[in-house]
Amino acid sequence: MKTALVCGAGGFIGGHLVKRLKREGFWVRGVDLKAHEYAETEADDFVVGDLRDQYFTRSVIDRRFDEVYQLAADMGGAGYIFTGENDADIMHNSATINLNVLDALHKRNVKNVFYSSSACMYPAYNQEDPDNPNCAEDSAYPAAPDSEYGWEKLFSERLYLTYGRNYGMKNRVARYHNIFGPEGTWTGGKEKAPAAMCRKIAQAKSGDTIDMWGDGLQTRSFLFVDECLEGTTRLMRSDFTGPVNIGSEEMVTINQLVDVVADIAGKTIHKNHIPGPVGVRGRNSDNRLIEEKLGWSPSQTLRAGLERTYAWVEQQVMRNAA
């Protein structure tokens, strides 16, 4: 039986990845600071502990795994990563996790390791025009991410690539672009735009006004979690190292995102634009490289993913209100 390790298995993408690997027949160990908040884990072995602790990290990497997915990070939406208030923690925590995990994997001679970087590592100067952002993989340098979260991702993706170069590990690096779906953070300050908008609209009555950070004209693309995992596992099982974008090319303004969710909810929603952390003006995935290297790119519409996400967030809102 093939074995897999998922670091960050108590989180949004890690939780979905464990389910997928189980469906594929793997024996799975999940590791996280906490149990999954919204679903019972399907991991064969789920270890709660802190990957900033190198002794703990070595204890969970006590054997060779066929596939390792390193998704653990100190992360959140704009309200967490763009205010500046959490910068020291974000850099220290995520960098320490990556240093510890790689060192332990190298000592155990583990070869196949996937690392989730982020589109936040792309230079801010290429993302000032909301209609024409440039997020081609080779546009990463000269580096100028707009957040410390992005700088840490850039450092860590380079770290994974060095272990590939110097120690013969077969590391893969993907740059995720706004992944969303059910069973992710939807309240509490670390949620991202799709979940936050679903929550606000689920809590609103038709005709209500919701607050939104910024003018809503900033553009983004959003990828449904199932497609993210399809890209992730395809990359892991390919000969291509990356870094490569895993994201959707269906770019929308945040106003349009709200309109789609309101339409799904069947509610008339007015927008009140208030000052808040918004990040770059425009961002979109560029899928030319993934198409070329893997012969695959995501194809599901934003609306289809939002329908499933809204239904789940609405359920959480109703459950919390009861």
List active site positions: 149
CB of residue 32 to ligand NAD, shortest distance in Å: 4
Counting contacts by CB under 6 A, is residue 23 touching ligand NAD?
no
Closest CA to 281 of 224, 215, 223: 215
Counting contacts by CB under 6 A, is residue 52 touching ligand NAD?
yes
Counting contacts by CB under 6 A, is residue 243 touching ligand NAD?
no
Nearer to ligand NAD, 112 or 184 (CB): 184
Query: Exposed, middle or buried by CB within 10 Å (0-12, 13-18, 19+), for 225?
Result: buried
Subset of 159-178 contacting ligand NAD (CB under 6 A): 176, 178
Counting contacts by CB under 6 A, is residue 230 touching ligand NAD?
no
Find the radius of gyration of the CA atoms of the chain: 19
CB of residue 270 to ligand NAD, shortest distance in Å: 27
Counting contacts by CB under 6 A, is residue 14 touching ligand NAD?
yes
Counting contacts by CB under 6 A, is residue 44 touching ligand NAD?
no
Counting contacts by CB under 6 A, is residue 51 touching ligand NAD?
yes
User: What distances in angstroms separate CA 130 from CA 126, 192, 218, one per listed residue?
Assistant: 10, 19, 6
Nearer to ligand NAD, 208 or 304 (CB): 304
Can you read off the two tokens belonging to residue 241? Answer: 């190292």
Counting contacts by CB under 6 A, is residue 245 touching ligand NAD?
no
Neighbours of 64 (CB within 10 A): 14
CB of residue 265 to ligand NAD, shortest distance in Å: 22
**Kind plus residue range of the DSSP H or E element containing 6:** strand 3-7
CB of residue 119 to ligand NAD, shortest distance in Å: 6
Counting contacts by CB under 6 A, is residue 11 touching ligand NAD?
yes
Counting contacts by CB under 6 A, is residue 13 touching ligand NAD?
yes
Counting contacts by CB under 6 A, is residue 103 touching ligand NAD?
no
Q: What is the DSSP string of 213-257?
A: ES-S--EE--EEHHHHHHHHHHHHTSS----EEE-----EEHHHH
Nearer to ligand NAD, 50 or 249 (CB): 50
Counting contacts by CB under 6 A, is residue 8 touching ligand NAD?
yes
CB of residue 123 to ligand NAD, shortest distance in Å: 16
Contacts of 169 (CB under 8 A, 6+ apart): 105, 106, 110, 111, 113, 163
String of b and e for 26-56 (b: at least 16 CB within 10 Å)?
bebbbbbbeebeeeebbbeebeeeebbeeeb
User: Interface with ligand NAD by CB under 6 A: which residues?
Assistant: 8, 10-14, 32-34, 50-52, 71-75, 93, 97, 116, 118, 176, 178-179, 185, 192
